[in-house]
A = this chain, B = another copy of it.
Amino acid sequence: MRPKIILISALVLALAFDLGLAAATGGQDQTSAYPAQELLKLGHQRVFEGQSLKEIAFPLGGVGTGTVSLGGRGNLRDWEIFNRPDKGVNLPFTFFSLYFEEEGRKPLVRVLEGPLTPPFTGQDGIPRDGVPGLPRMETARFIGEYPFAQVELGDRKIPLQITLEAFNPFIPLKPEESGVPAVVFRYRIKNLSSRPVKITVAGSILNPVGFEGEGTIDSVGHPKFGANVNRVRKESGLSGLLMSSQKVKPESPSFGTVALTTTWKDITYLSHWVRGDWWDDLQIFWDDFRQDGRLKDLDDASPSPDGRTDIGTLGLLASLAPFEEVELPFILSWNFPNVLNYFDIIPARRGSVLKNHYAQQFADAWAAADYLARNLQPLEKETRKFKDAFFGSTLPAFVLDAVSSQAATIRTAACLWLADGSFFGFEGCDDQGGCCPLNCAHVWNYEQSLAFLFPTLEKSMRETDFLNNLKPDGAMAFRTSLPLDPKVLWDFRPAADGQMGRVINLYRDWQVSGDTSFLKRIWPKVRKALEYAWVQWDADRDGLLEGEQHNTYDIEFIGPNSMLSGFYLGALLAGQRMAEAVGDVDASREFRDVFDKGRRKYEELLWNGEYYVQKYDKVMEKKYQYGDGCLSDQLLGQWLGMVAGLGRFLPEDHIKTALGSIYHYNFLTDFSEHSNAQRTYALNDEKGLLTCSWPKGGRPPLPFPYSDEVWTGIEYQVASHLIYEDRLFEGLSIVKAARDRYDGWRRNPWDEIECGHHYVRAMSSWGLLLGLSGFEYSAPEMRMGFEPKVYPDDFRGFWCVGSGWGEYYQKAADKVQWVVGLKVISGDLSLKEFSFKLPAAAKLLRVTAGVGSLSLKAGVKVQGDRVTVSWPKPILLKAGEDLHLDVKLQ
């Protein structure tokens, strides 16, 4: 699927030149922080080794189930399956190990992890719970292609090729199938020796039931433990350990089960290690294991003594002929149905217990494992199709990394999916709890990944926004309190960006889903939310927001300003279009009027020739403003509009120039001279985009908090906007800078941090995919279009909308023959119009359309370099079908 590497290298040079010139249409020339070759490089994802393995934590688990992360060394870390974020919590004595016996030689044993790395400074040496004293593999290499992670383990003394693959089902548009509380761990082991070998791969795991998900577990002893039961079950398709507790009551937040299972037949096990003094348990287990790779096959379901739990082990046995390969599968699954509301924005509501969605589907951890074992083939197949289509794109590898890694946030503990199907999210994860609660409108604004991958979950957030969180006067509570109740809302001023942004987001969701009936249902609320601007911020309806505008910087901007009024214009335009669609003629006209007025005033008042500013005369006295600053978020509303399908509503030349100014003034290629009294996300010789700068002076003595910071969520929106506007190398430079900071040594690539881990703002990165594909879609209008910004001669890209997902490709066979195609891989797609862009300076001679061997009669319209193919009646593309266009040029 991917063009061969040898071709790419040649292409890169040609393209770098072409695209560089083609894109420099803004007010300034583009500058690039990296060589073009680096920015356009395709190919495999990064391989992490050595010190870069240290911070790797690749989240595994289903949507709404919490996660356990796979560390770079092949270790399991950050067990956040207990319904709250909890960075740093490990399950003691939970690890995979290998017994290896080459015929005629002394057996060897290894922990199946790469070596531990410094520091080794614990108060008692290296904490024992990670079995640091046992021999382990010499080397580890980690590759993540979300949702698949792979760890290759090597050791000079062990002639085996060992690869751990870990994943779980993750299928766009299928949240249920993507929401199984389980992980597949598959050890692919090949005998590289010329002798037969015997191996055991054993998974040991601590029964954690009773732990409340906060803080750490340091040993088998904990006051909440006791009466823990490990039961060995052997069923037709599945064997393993089911771990529970007789002490924890079913209604308790810590109630639940964990299972470690396998579909492998030849097993050995210990329901629990010896309950001894000192360190007898590990000593006896390890001595037993290393002797012959077989355990006692103990099946003792007696509960553990009070105050302590047990560790159990499941081993998979195999004999391998020389050069034979085997796959040894484990399934780790869990079930913790009760979600303690420890986090509510209304403190008095804390303490209630909510129910997880997944717990409705699965009675316990065993049931989840059983479901996964029975359905693994189709689930894995479709997950792989997604991964192959996505990573098979001709988008730069680091862009795919930025997009896919942040989509993982959907399934971290940053998000909740409750029994009634409602979906919620924190802004991110503090080390030991969600922060801040919940569905924060001004942060979630930026997020696009959920909206495109799982639009039904995104829709739940719109329902919460408009049907629950709107107060009688039209102000939207921009944080959600649980359980949902429109009469019990957070009592805080509304956020202008959050409130206006949600209207644009709704427009996007409507375009993605085509669900006009839903739009009609909530329209009165949407209108009220938008009109609230006239109550609070634009009483004179001149199209600019005035007064105090609370926003995502956690302060209020005062007076007309680029950022908030940009949001407002986008919301007005979205409102106008939606009003039209639902037949609300008055609203449509009024919104349009205000929009038109606003658009003019916005230019008159806020454009300074290089970028848009804030107009407020007390900017040097009043705290926390930006005035003449060049704000990276100044075009945020316009960007949301681009993503949503509203198109440009500000002048194109100003957009391009302003984006160029943002890049020029705010993108630092070195932080060593940067003075930042705020929080620090980029430093030393790192590169990054500042939230704001004052290139023309006028920096207030105390500008708004965060003004000197670097947020990936903003970086991706600006980068994607630059790319939309053909400032390709600038956009890609920003993305590469961000991903270079998250290099596994300095930070975890699957955990971008702002106010918390897995910060949802960074899900703006989906915009990169849209921007680089030049993607346009309207479900209501049944039209789709592409305009690839990279590799137009041989482009392949992933797309996903409400009804289906697949690939788009275009390829030049020669100078006059092109193939353009749209493949539906899952779901379906109804189209009345399809458009693409001609190569530079080419003229269309003829285009023929077909699906499979069937040719379709189509109308063809050419506007400039844009070709639109249309059908009087919609065509329906089903999964597996290609819309195929043969394009002849002259």
Contacts and interface: CB of A to CB of B under 8 A. Distances in A.
Contacts of A435: 123
B135 A674 contact: yes
A745 B119 contact: yes
Contacts of A675: 109, 133-135, 286, 290
Contacts of A680: 120, 125-126, 128, 132-133
A745 B135 CA distance: 21
Nearest to A684: B115
Nearest to A282: B677
A679 interface: yes
B138 A705 contact: no
A278 interface: yes
A701 interface: yes
Interface string A112-156: 000110111111111010011111001000000000000000000
A87 interface: yes
Interface string A744-786: 0111100101111100000000000000000000000000000
Q: How many copies does the complex hold?
A: 2
Interface string A419-444: 00000000011110001000000000
Contact of A133 (B124, B683, B754, B755): B683
A814 interface: no
B677 A116 contact: no
Contact of A121 (B116, B132, B701, B748): B748
Contacts of A624: 278
Nearest to A120: B746
A671 to B, nearest CB: 8
Contact of A757 (B116, B123, B134, B677): B123
Contact of A124 (B121, B283, B679): B679
Interface residues of A, number: 68
Contacts of A126: 679-681, 683
A680 B282 CA distance: 14
Nearest to A673: B135
A372 B135 CA distance: 52
B125 A679 contact: yes
B55 A118 contact: yes
Nearest to A115: B684
Interface in A720-753: 741, 745-748, 751, 753
Interface string A662-694: 000000000011111111110110000000000
A116 B287 contact: no
B279 A134 contact: no
Contacts of A527: none
A585 interface: no
A133 B702 contact: no
A277 interface: yes
A805 B672 CA distance: 49
Contacts of A428: 123
A705 B54 CA distance: 30
A120 B747 contact: yes
A284 interface: yes
Given A55-B119, A119-B746, A123-B431, A677 B756 contact: no
Contacts of A676: 133-134
Given A133-B675, A134-B676, A678-B133, A124 B756 contact: yes
- Which residue of A109, A276, A284, A677 has the most chain B CB atoms within 10 A of its CB atom? A677
A401 interface: no
A684 B116 contact: yes
A586 interface: no
A865 interface: no
Given A278-B624, A678-B279, A124 B701 contact: no
A278 B120 contact: no
Interface in A481-520: none
Contacts of A115: 683-684
A705 B135 contact: no
A623 interface: yes
B284 A134 contact: no
Interface string A545-557: 0000000000000
A580 interface: no
Nearest to A751: B121
Contact of A753 (B54, B55, B109, B122): B122
Interface in A268-322: 276-280, 282-284, 286-287, 290
Contacts of A828: none
A708 interface: yes
Contacts of A128: 678-680
Given A119-B747, A120-B683, A705 B431 contact: no
A132 B678 CA distance: 9
Contacts of A133: 674-680, 683, 708
Given A118-B55, A134-B677, A290-B675, A125 B753 contact: yes
A757 B55 CA distance: 25
A233 to B, nearest CB: 28
B118 A746 contact: yes
Interface string A189-219: 0000000000000000000000000000000
A124 B138 CA distance: 34
A133 B681 CA distance: 8
A719 B119 CA distance: 26
Contacts of A123: 87, 428-431, 435, 753, 755-757
- Which residue of A120, A126, A623 has the most chain B CB atoms within 10 A of its CB atom? A120
Contacts of A119: 54-55, 745-747
A55 B290 CA distance: 35
Nearest to A685: B115
Contacts of A138: 672
B756 A705 contact: no
A258 B276 CA distance: 49
A599 B189 CA distance: 58
26 contacts: A54-B118, A54-B119, A115-B684, A116-B683, A119-B745, A119-B747, A120-B680, A120-B681, A120-B746, A120-B747, A121-B751, A122-B753, A123-B431, A123-B755, A124-B679, A125-B709, A126-B683, A128-B678, A132-B680, A133-B675, A133-B679, A134-B676, A278-B705, A280-B623, A280-B702, A284-B702
Given A123-B757, A124-B753, A278-B705, 18 more contacts: A118-B745, A120-B680, A120-B741, A121-B751, A123-B428, A124-B679, A124-B755, A125-B709, A126-B679, A126-B680, A131-B677, A133-B683, A134-B675, A134-B677, A135-B673, A279-B705, A282-B677, A286-B675
Minimum-distance CB pairs A-B, first 10 = A133-B676, A132-B680, A118-B746, A283-B677, A282-B677, A133-B680, A125-B681, A125-B679, A126-B680, A123-B431
